[in-house]
């Protein structure tokens, strides 16, 4: 059975400290115990205590505990005194309990409401004295405007207009393929292959049920470990010990039947064969620095053919005055044909790093380009 713990109170008139909860008048100034709040020395509200820590507080024996009612003190509306739940008349002014309805906890609630009202009634600093502040909505709006401005700036154009074309480049390439024979194997025979052998070989393993076996499977369980206690204000100068069970997690094991599978080999016919395949063999390339782009002449050997054709067109620009290093850009052939050495160009790029493009002086796109690193 939990015991009662003695509480204490401070006199709000003379400031006397740590007056026992069973004392109804301040021993220093004689003021009746009234608008006070009880506490336990050395204990923080809501603090959890081990059982052995309870002995650090003054626990009332059974005889002393009988003198306290289980109900909170009642509050005299005439002299602001707190009286025992057993008293029918105020022990300070003699007023009847029937004329005073509030108890200790209701008194504390009214005190908190009164203090909040007094704080709200305090004069606020004038606008001239108050520090300027921004509401959260204004701050959020400023942040939003800053983000929008940054987005617009990042996506804005950056145009270079002091560029001169100093060179043209083109390259055309033809990949030559050779028809070669390969020795391969597979689980099926491809079209056009010449079979050289066929064997029964391991293809894969199937998992086949064999038997059940008992295994120990772990699981966790919450197990009672000990009690911890909090001290709860009874509103009459005492506090009750309230227990709270504390659990620990334990790992336990249970026996389960688990299926056991064995690998069973599966065989299939594997084919070995010769097969001819066109394979990239060499490149034939032509290049130049003018508009006369041509494909290279190709001489095919035995078992050769022309494969993929690729082409690239580029130009180089320099800044007037040599402020920056020359830069080379790839461009589509149709646009490249319109560019000549000594032409003046505008090249525009996004600040976000998007691909640049040839533009007019206002930044309007004329042709896409890709810079050659």
Is residue 193 domain-shared with residue 340, that is, in the same domain?
A: no
310 or 3: whose pLDDT is higher?
310
Could you report the per-residue pLDDT of 238-276, keeping only the tens digit for each?
999 999 999 999 999 999 999 999 999 999 999 999 999
Task: Note whether residue 4 is domain-resident.
Answer: no
Model pLDDT, residue 130: 47
Q: How many domains does the chain have?
A: 2
pLDDT (0 to 100) of residue 131: 52
pLDDT digits (tens, 9 = 90+) for 53-107: 998 999 998 888 888 877 888 888 888 788 888 788 888 888 888 877 677 887 7
Residue 61 resides in a domain:
no
In a domain, 316, yes or no: yes
Cα separation, 26 vs 166, whole angstroms: 102
Residue pair 54/37 in contact by the 8 Å Cβ criterion: no
What is the overall mean pLDDT for the chain?
88
Same domain assignment for residues 205 and 258: yes
Classify 260 as helix, strand or coil.
strand
Buried b (16+ CB within 10 A) or exposed e, 239-276: bebeeeeeeeeeeeeeeeeeeeeeeeeeeeebbebebe
Is 267 in the same domain as 347?
no
- Both 303 and 361 in one domain: the answer is yes
The reply to whether 265 and 303 lie within a common domain is: no
Q: What is the pLDDT of residue 257?
A: 97
Stretch among 8-17, 36-45, 187-196, 353-362 having the lowest mean pLDDT: 353-362
User: DSSP letter at 180?
Assistant: E
Both 319 and 191 in one domain: the answer is: no
The answer on 270 and 287 residing in a single domain is: no
Do 287 and 221 reside in the same domain of the chain? Answer: no
CA distances from 331 to 108, 142, 225, 243, 313 (A): 83, 43, 77, 81, 6
| Same domain flag for 169 and 217 | no
What are the residues facing 267 on neighbouring strands?
202
Query: What is the model's pTM?
Result: 0.49
Query: Per-residue pLDDT averaged across 337-341, rounded?
Result: 96
Is residue 128 predicted with pLDDT exceeding 50? no
Nearest of 8, 40, 46 to residue 228 by alpha carbon: 46
Q: Tell me which of 227 and 131 has the higher pLDDT.
A: 227
Asked if 183 and 215 sit in the same domain, the reply is yes
- Note whether residue 57 is domain-resident: no
Q: Who's near 331: CB < 8 A, 6+ residues apart?
A: 313, 314, 315, 339, 358, 367, 368, 369, 370
Please report whether residue 108 resides in a domain: no
Residue of higher predicted confidence among 141 and 152: 141
Range of the domain at 324: 164-176+282-372
**362 assigned to some structural domain:** yes
Do 187 and 319 lie in one domain? The reply is no
Cβ-Cβ contacts under 8 Å for 270 (sequence gap 6 or more): 185, 186, 187, 198, 199, 200, 201, 203
Could you tell me if 170 and 307 lie in one domain? yes
Q: Evaluate if residue 169 carries a pLDDT over 80.
A: yes
- Asked, for residue 10, whether it belongs to a domain, the answer is no
In a domain, 299, yes or no: yes
């Amino acid at each position: 059975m939990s015991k009662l713990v003695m509480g204490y109170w401070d006199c709000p008139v003379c400031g006397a400290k740590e007056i026992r909860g069973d004392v109804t008048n301040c021993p220093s100034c004689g003021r009746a115990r009234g608008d006070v709040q009880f506490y336990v020395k050395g204990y923080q509200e809501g603090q959890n205590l081990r059982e052995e820590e309870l002995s650090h507080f003054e626990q009332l024996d059974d005889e002393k505990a009988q003198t306290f009612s289980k109900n909170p003190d009642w509050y005299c509306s005439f002299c602001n005194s707190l009286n025992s739940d057993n008293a029918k008349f105020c022990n300070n002014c003699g007023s009847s309990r029937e004329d005073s309805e509030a108890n200790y906890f209701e008194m504390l609630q009214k005190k908190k409401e009164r203090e909040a009202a007094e704080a709200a009634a305090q004069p606020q600093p004038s606008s001239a004295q108050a520090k300027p502040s921004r509401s959260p909505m204004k701050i959020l709006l400023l942040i939003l405007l800053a983000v929008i401005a940054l987005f617009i700036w990042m996506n804005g154009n950056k145009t270079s207009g002091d560029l001169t074309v100093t060179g043209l480049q083109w390259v055309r390439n033809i990949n030559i393929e050779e028809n070669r024979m390969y020795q391969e194997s597979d689980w099926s025979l491809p079209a056009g292959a010449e079979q050289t052998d066929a064997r029964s070989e391991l293809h894969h393993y199937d998992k086949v049920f064999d038997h059940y076996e008992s295994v120990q499977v772990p699981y966790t369980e919450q197990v009672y470990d000990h009690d911890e206690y909090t001290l709860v204000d009874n509103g009459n100068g005492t506090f009750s010990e309230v227990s709270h069970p504390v659990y620990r997690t334990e790992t336990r094991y249970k026996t389960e039947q688990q299926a056991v599978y064995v690998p069973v080999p599966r065989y299939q016919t594997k084919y070995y064969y010769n097969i001819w395949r066109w394979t990239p063999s060499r490149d034939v390339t032509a290049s130049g620095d003018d508009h006369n782009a041509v494909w290279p002449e190709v001489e095919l050997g035995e078992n050769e053919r022309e494969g993929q054709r690729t082409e690239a067109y580029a130009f180089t620009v320099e800044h007037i005055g040599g402020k920056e290093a020359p830069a080379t850009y790839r461009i589509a052939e149709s646009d490249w044909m319109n560019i000549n050495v000594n032409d003046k160009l505008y090249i525009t790029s996004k600040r976000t790093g998007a691909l640049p493009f040839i533009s007019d002086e206002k930044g309007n796109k004329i042709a896409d380009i890709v810079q050659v690193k």
